[in-house]
Amino acid sequence: MSAGASAINTQWRLASRPTGEVGREHFEVTHSPLPEPGEGEVRVRNLYLLIPPSMRLWMNEKDTYFPAQVLGEVMTGITLGVVESSRDPSLAPGDYVNGLGGCQEWSIAPVGHLQKIQPRPGVPLAAYRSVLDVQGLTAYCGLTEIGKPRAGETLVVTAAAGSVGSLVCQIGKKLGLKVVGIAGGADKCAWLRDECGIENVIDYKHEDVAARLDALCPEGIDIAYENVGGPVMDMIIERLRNKGRVVLCGLVSSYNGGVTQNTASLMQLVNKAARMEGFLVSEYLHRYDEVIATLQDWAADGSLKYRIEVLDGLDKIVEAMTRVFHGKNQGVQLVKIAQEGTQ
């Protein structure tokens, strides 16, 4: 259904800042009249909302790579939507666009804030706001630009069955690395092994991680792609080889607070003349077209696997975030705001 002149926009606003896990009480849901787009703007019907772990960090008082979310404002959200009406010749109704459309049904945006996407037949639309977008670019550029892999080296990946991690594992294998994936639970490990072809997996919830790392990486670790932090990260750093590289992508175990890193393991960076480097995917936007084209080709020929989980409706935001922090998400976690084909 398209937005008429009197359409009402359901919006999720941040009402208070969580100190631990996010709950329904941290949001206020409002219903506001939908404004018309101005000159150079479009009105977008939001279809999918990505639920990245860092969404939890945006709710804190401290700035991240985004300014801190203002209380009372519509919660920031990474969205894919369809243009419903346009006041700029560069976008037409029916065009699919990626943007920061927020946790709401519709958004009005200047065209310069949106990226038009052209889905290939046979590829789910939702992939264009996840694995064939920010998460794919994060995986590819983090591994290649920071990890500087050389064929034959050993790569260890944490949150290995997650959206970014599962891509890193598979890209690492394509580059000729020996890949060890660490994930929570037998199901995730089986998927990595049986579907993604990652033979060396460690279930950190049920196995002795240190002993398994020693067995699987007898000569140590060349590259650690770190998504989680905490005690497993310490075990990995302790096993770095000379001139090892730690690709610091994220520290999801600390996002709800309460986890502190053991800095003693960092001495190993000195002992092994190793490097730990953080990065932001936004630094690699200049490589977007080239990298996403490669990932699309691999997805199309079936050599790159991914999973996308969709919860239906904006009122599933809290549940979706909770799933991510309890490892219940099997791959990408999205919330569907409206049905595809809705315009």
Ligand X SMILES: NC(=O)c1ccc[n+]([C@@H]2O[C@H](COP(=O)([O-])OP(=O)(O)OC[C@H]3O[C@@H](n4cnc5c(N)ncnc54)[C@H](OP(=O)(O)O)[C@@H]3O)[C@@H](O)[C@H]2O)c1
Q: Which residues bind ligand X (CB under 6 A)?
A: 52-54, 134-135, 138, 159, 161-165, 183-185, 188, 227-228, 249-250, 252-253, 279-281, 324-325, 327, 329
Taking the complex as a whole, how short is the minimal distance between the CB of residue 164 and ligand X, in angstroms? 3
Taking the complex as a whole, how short is the minimal distance between the CB of residue 333 and ligand X, in angstroms? 7
Nearer to ligand X, 35 or 257 (CB): 257
Nearer to ligand X, 54 or 271 (CB): 54
Nearer to ligand X, 87 or 275 (CB): 275
CA angle, 134 as apex, 173 and 38 as ends, to 5°? Answer: 165
Taking the complex as a whole, how short is the minimal distance between the CB of residue 5 and ligand X, in angstroms? 38
Distance CA 277, CA 292 (A): 23
Nearer to ligand X, 111 or 143 (CB): 143
- Of 196, 252, 189, the C-alpha closest to 216 is 189
Taking the complex as a whole, how short is the minimal distance between the CB of residue 138 and ligand X, in angstroms? 4
Taking the complex as a whole, how short is the minimal distance between the CB of residue 276 and ligand X, in angstroms? 13
- Of 173, 166, 170, the C-alpha closest to 152 is 173
Nearer to ligand X, 252 or 292 (CB): 252
Taking the complex as a whole, how short is the minimal distance between the CB of residue 93 and ligand X, in angstroms? 31
Nearer to ligand X, 37 or 162 (CB): 162
Nearer to ligand X, 138 or 154 (CB): 138
Taking the complex as a whole, how short is the minimal distance between the CB of residue 135 and ligand X, in angstroms? 6
